Amino acid sequence: MNKTKNIAIVGAGLVGSLLSIYLSKRGFQVSVFERRGDMRKTAEDAGRSINLALSTRGIRALAEVGLAEEIKNVAIPMHGRMMHDQKENLTFLAYGKEGQFINSISRSGLNIVLINKAEEKKVDFFFHHKCHQVNFSETSLILQTDDGALIQRKFDLIIGADGAFSAIRSAMQITDRFHYSQQYLEHGYKELHIPASHAGGFILEKNALHIWPRESFMMIALPNPDGSFTCTLFLPFEGEVSFKTLNTDEEIIFFFQKTFPDAFIHMPTLLHDFKVNPVSSLVTIKCFPWVRNKSLVIGDAAHGIVPFYGQGMNAGFEDCRILDQLLNQLGDNWLEVLPAFQMARKKDTDAIAQLAFDNFIEMRDLVADPEFLLRKKIEAKIHAAYPDKWIPLYSMVTFNDSISYSEAYIMGQKQKIIMDKVMERPRLAEHWQELNLKQIVDQL
């Protein structure tokens, strides 16, 4: 397999397109098969987007294929969370220290850049080619076109980068000793829209991720270059306050007017968006092994996570970078690279899956809580005094790609135990500036 030349990637999404660039740069002949149409010509997933939060791990991978600066030029920096309460009061919480930020970027816009770059590198894309069947022993695919025709192709290697509902992983699931789990949240999400002002500017603070936390549900908004915001409502599918109970125009308007008053006044297309855009589900997917003979799953196909840490894309891009790194270390010997890759990444992707779920609770329930905000202030002060010894969990995950997800998770658990004790101190809100920071840090 160290002579592998002909590689099939199933899935022309973000991870599949980026990986095709990495592999073509190494001299492999890469064919990418996508069941949907070419997104440069059609918009098949309109109304299903959660704007992406591109951070350090993703940027590093893009830099290695020469795209980081081009992407950052069309991204909008978000320096922190802007919380909106029901009385229209605003509270800002920085993501990290000064100069640290995540980047809001359009999923489709980024995907198009990656596909164009891949084609420049002589990658072949085949749209409207659905993976119909996989033969792992022969490393072959049967692909189905829109007119029902079946095409059989044989490859040296097959990589499934076809998302949470991967056809390649589904084929692996019916092989022996394959572990698989999926866990859905009781919440779904719906895309909504806040347009730019009449003058073309931003109605809300431009450089922030906006959150309307409401305990059992929430809405977020991320900025776009045209001055608009892509909003996402996360709401239970069923229950007293849920998608199921919002049916009539009156129910929808009353709910938004009461629950998100400062957003509602800026949403002229609310009724149209709410009725037309679908409700999509949120799922965590884990599986193992990721390898069958000369076939591999990667990205969401191997480890689908909920979007609440903004790391789904970044983790997938880091997959591509780590795989490329192993190819360098092991001289393109895929027989050694494939098992090494899955062993290197499994613990880290399990860790970010748990962190993403935990962060949903934080964003939904805690970011408006004064005690939570005080806790973050104390942690920021500790980090400022001891920057190398105490790094907040969010900063480890988002701004420091030299720390793996699993290492960040373990350190975060230790910090939580220490901070829980700190927060139990009487009258802390009055005296937190007097805390012995060294004593806190030394407990690590």
| Tokens at 286, concatenated | 């884990």
Q: What is the pTM of this model?
A: 0.94
Average pLDDT, stretch 302-322?
96
pLDDT above 60 for 228: yes
Stated as kind and residue range, the H or E segment containing 386 is: none
Per-residue pLDDT at 365:
67
**The two structure tokens encoding residue 321:** 């970078």
Cβ(263)–Cβ(194) under 8 Å?
yes
Q: What is the pLDDT of residue 100?
A: 93
Between these two residues, 129 and 108, which has the higher pLDDT value? Answer: 129
Structure tokens of 277? 């855009």
**pLDDT greater than 70 at residue 46:** no
Mean pLDDT within 16-29: 97
- For 69-99, write each residue's pLDDT tens digit: 999 999 999 999 999 999 999 999 899 888 8
d(CA 155, CA 5): 9
Q: DSSP letter for 7, please.
A: E
Residue 45: band (very low, low, confident or very high) from pLDDT cuts 50, 70, 90: low
Q: Which amino acid is at 346?
A: K
pLDDT, residue 372, reads 86
**Residue 280 scores a pLDDT above 90:** yes
The gap between the terminal CA atoms of the chain, to the nearest Å, is 45
Instruction: Give the contacts of 1 (CB within 8 A, at least 6 positions apart).
Output: 156, 157, 294, 333, 334, 335
Looking at residue 371, its pLDDT comes to: 87
Report the C-alpha gap between 102 and 6 in whole angstroms.
36
Q: Which residues pair with 403 in a beta bridge?
A: none
